[in-house]
Amino acid sequence: MSHMFTRTKLREVVHNIRMCKTLKEEQNLVAVECAEIRDCFKAKNKNLHCVAMTKLLYFYILGYPSNFGQLECLKLISTDRYVDKRIGYLGCMMLLDENADLHVLITNS
């Protein structure tokens, strides 16, 4: 499941999206990558969650829906690795609005 995900890094995803000639081609690529990101979030290998979140944040910047990553940001914040915490806090700033109930969980973690 996650072996497919580790094949594409953020740099490759950005390159592939920039190489898309049509909007439909870009949307298909984002749909495939989002499915792989969801699979990665379900996987037990927690080391890949940070990379998956960076891809998801890039898709958010492009305007694609990324609501499914909100809870994963909280999971990244609660890890011991500094890199994961940093990406988790960045994701919370981008994906959560100011009225979200998850802000209470951020302050508790």
The residue ranges of every structural domain in the chain are 10-107
SS3 97: coil
C-alpha atoms less than 13 angstroms from C-alpha of 18 in its C-beta half-sphere? 7
Instruction: Decide if 50 contacts 83 (C-beta within 8 A).
Output: yes
Alpha-helix runs per DSSP H in 1-109:
2-5, 10-19, 23-42, 49-62, 70-77, 82-95, 102-108
Q: What is the pTM of this model?
A: 0.84
How confident is the prediction along the chain (109 residues), in pLDDT tens digits per residue? 444 545 678 999 999 999 999 999 999 999 999 999 999 999 887 788 999 999 999 999 999 999 999 889 989 998 899 999 999 999 999 988 777 676 666 766 6
Residues in the chain: 109
